[in-house]
Amino acid sequence: MTNPAMSPPSVLLIMVDQLGAAWLPAYGHDIVNAPHISGLSARGLTFDAAYCPSPLCAPSRSAMLAGRHSSRVGVYDNAAELAATVPTLTHHLRNLGYHTALAGKMHFVGPDQLHGFERRLTTDVYPAGADWTPDWTRPVSDRLPWYHSMESVLTPARCVAAMQTDYDDEVAFHAARHLRDLARHARDEPFFLVASFTNPHDPWEIPSRYWDRYDPEAIALPAVALDPEHEDPHSRRLRIMCGADQVTLEESQIRRARHAYYAAISYVDERIGEVLAALRETGLDESTTIVFCADHGEFLGERGLWYKMSLLDTSARVPLIVATPGRRAERASGPVSTLDLAPTLLELAAGPEVAAAADFDGVSRAGLLAGQGAGDAAGGLSGPGGGEREAVGGEREAVVAEYHGEGVNAPAAMIREGAMKLIVCATDPDQLYDLAADPLELRNLAGDERFAETVAGLRAQLDARLDLPAIGRAVLASQRERQVVASALGRGEVTPWDFQPHVDAAMQYVRNRADLYELQRRARLEG
């Protein structure tokens, strides 16, 4: 294999919003139509047990780019700032000579809306201010105006255009155009381009041609029904917080909401296809590693829950696919995290010594991508023939995620090692699941004496990585300070932090007679 430090690959990171792994055909769903994502899986390494760092947009994305736990970088929720001085994967790659650009959503909060990117090709779809700060001193029934409601579930829509599809159309256009610009100018340096879409995040307002790909009668109801008798306290809080406890849904309403979500997946898959086509048509695919992932999952009615904000698998387990030139389809079965992307991509770009010197909480999986076997962290690689390859390497296996947003009043965290998964929160009973025997997380084993040693061992590992009492104190202090800031900045003359891209049309289009043919020649990219 070529030494990655000698020939660093370009990287195209494609990200979507609120897409659980279980809703994709690449992960076994038999209804959803997503051929471009499936195509990546068919020529890449698909991680079957990938987890987000936090099941909420801003914390998950900031942690992924920083390669550090969301609590460690202070991004506790959707209104917490990633400090400009925190090095991200983008900073590291830029120091190595990469050209860096972002098209689409990253939900950065605060005045730094770049975090290492040289160019940002679109604005964001969500605000950059502190207005969405949770308040742990209030009961969850005291609903803040920006909380999720059941409107998206009750009123999914067929539409010609909507805010989110307009936005994602723009993201796909600018990402594809940027790839063509890179090819036009034949840049020598590798690139790191992030194309980040907001679908299939609610509201689900999608053109009819995507709805029409699905037979409404073929859409199944949730596999796990609401069971108030055995509902865990956090799930109960989530239903109260979004008003699900006040609505009785008919089966037809649940199916229609699911139908709309599936349509949103098909819509965004088509936008992804446009970006991949530009990569292929320019020839840049021959030297580019493609990463596909999501920031968190979506319940879609399972357990009577909607949206995310939970450490149960439907909310916290995400798709993660990495396709490198010439790779065959393989799968990694063991737990990993999107925290691992920063050290992995840095190792591919500059070698293991550089990646090891960086201060990451994630673990590099570059050995998997090099075809060296699965390592302890991934539990074996399997190819299309189904035969498991020998596991090599000594990477740690346990994966940690955390949640500190609305719906809790104390830090919540999970740790998964092998098939065993523990969820803890100071205000709630522990939850322990054996995902091999109980993939739907129906049987909480935490109170079973036979598993006391397992709980103690996992809790010790979790405590070694996250100091939850200290994090709780830091969250409360951060909330108090941000509430003051948000209130003040909403008064008087308001100066938003939102990013507005600058387009120099004079460098792209004809502005005087003298440059007519020269600009046309420079803009032509031969096939």
Does the active-site annotation cover 57? yes
Whole-number Cα distances in Å, 418 to 189, 332, 352, 453: 40, 12, 25, 15
Question: Would you say 375 and 354 are in contact if contact means Cβ atoms under 8 Å apart?
Answer: no
Contacts of 467 (CB under 8 A, 6+ apart): none
Q: Is the dihedral of CA 30, 34, 39, 41 positive or negative?
A: negative
Contacts of 99 (CB under 8 A, 6+ apart): 118, 182, 187, 189, 190, 191, 192
Q: Which helix (H) or strand (E) holds 354?
A: helix 352-357
SS (H, E, C) 151-187: HHHHCCEECCCCHHHHHHHHHHHHHHHHHHHHHHCCC
Alpha helices in 365-511 (DSSP H): 366-369, 375-378, 452-465, 468-489
Question: Would you say 432 and 443 are in contact if contact means Cβ atoms under 8 Å apart?
Answer: no
Choose, from 69, 92, 99, 107, the residue flagged as catalytic. 107
If we measure between CA atoms, which residue out of 430, 337, 322 comes closest to residue 378? 337
Cα–chain-centroid distance for residue 343?
Answer: 16
Whole-number Cα distances in Å, 401 to 175, 316, 419, 525: 30, 8, 15, 45
The residues with which 193 forms a beta bridge, in sequence order, are 12, 101
Choose, from 57, 242, 293, 425, the residue flagged as catalytic. 57
Neighbours of 227 (CB within 10 A): 11
Does the active-site annotation cover 242? no
Q: Which residue is associated with the tokens 């991200």?
A: 88
SS (H, E, C) 229-267: HHCCHHHHHHHHHHCHHHCCCCHHHHHHHHHHHHHHHHH
Cα–Cα distance between 93 and 100 in angstroms, integer? 8
If we measure between CA atoms, which residue out of 78, 101, 267, 259 comes closest to residue 168? 267
Q: Is the dihedral of CA 447, 448, 452, 458 positive or negative?
A: negative
For strands 205-206 and 157-158, give the pairing: parallel
* Token couple for 161: 């255009």
Helix (H, G, I), strand (E, B) or coil at 133: coil
Residues with a known catalytic role: 57, 107
